[in-house]
Homo-oligomer: A and B are copies of this chain.
Amino acid sequence: MARPELARQQNTQLVLAELKAACATCNLRELCLPAGLSKEELDQIEAMVNIRRKIRRGETLYRAGEVFDAVYAVRSGFFKSRVTYEDGRDQVTGFSMAGEILGMDGIGQGTHNCDAVALEDSEVCSIPYVRLEELSREIDGLQRHFHRLMSREIVRESGVMMLLGVMRADERIAAFLLNLSQRLNARGYSPIEFHLRMTREEIGSYLGLKLETVSRAFSKFHKDGLIEVEQKFVRIRNVEGLKQIYAHHVN
């Protein structure tokens, strides 16, 4: 309102880079495509994944309510998914990194159910859903792969329900750090030191905690020699110690 030209600028910051996808040479292939595809099948898939799109930090890939027509494979960068409730309260429902698929929530109603916001400058491959459906019928490995991805999302979310429903604050945060660590490791990054792309508040929102509680837990873990934290930088000093935090409760 105060700075209309800035607001407008932000609305047009979405950058469409119409680069051809190159699944065959993509080093995330084994994360987002089924194994054992023939050259020919890879070509078909490349033709389906028709656009690479850049999303700048702070911009949305899609918003709740928008018509769903594609799912997205994160090529680089980092996203949060956010559901906003009628009364304005919102919650972060997930964080997505390279090789992960975004947007599957939209299939059910034909509109997206959450906002996907880039937490750093990012790039995604856009996969039109109707093409995915068609190709799934031809390449049966693709169909199964896609089912698996959706199913894993269901399982991931029930894991979060567990976090939110039964764990205490420091257990949630230990689990969060270990989960990040494991996913980074699977992508060839160091599992013991990394940059958090999200704020304490976003972590808290995801874990059903307030930012102060997240901060206090980090401080406590540091005091106990489990981690080092400096702003967004984290080094895990004692993986087993972190694991024991949520094995450690009574009952």
Contacts and interface: CB of A to CB of B under 8 A. Distances in A.
Contacts of A165: 91, 164, 205-208
A251 interface: yes
- Chain A, interface size: which category? 35 or more
A87 B143 contact: no
B114 A158 contact: yes
A157 interface: yes
Contacts of A155: 105, 108-109, 113
Interface string A209-251: 0000000000000000000000000000000000000110101
A160 B155 CA distance: 13
Number of copies: 2
A104 B91 CA distance: 25
Contact of A113 (B91, B136, B158, B247): B158
Contacts of A114: 158
A83 interface: yes
A133 B137 contact: no
Contacts of A29: none
Interface string A90-115: 11010000000000111111000110
Interface of A: 83, 85-91, 93, 104-109, 113-114, 133, 136-137, 140, 143-144, 147-155, 157-162, 164-166, 205-208, 246-247, 249, 251
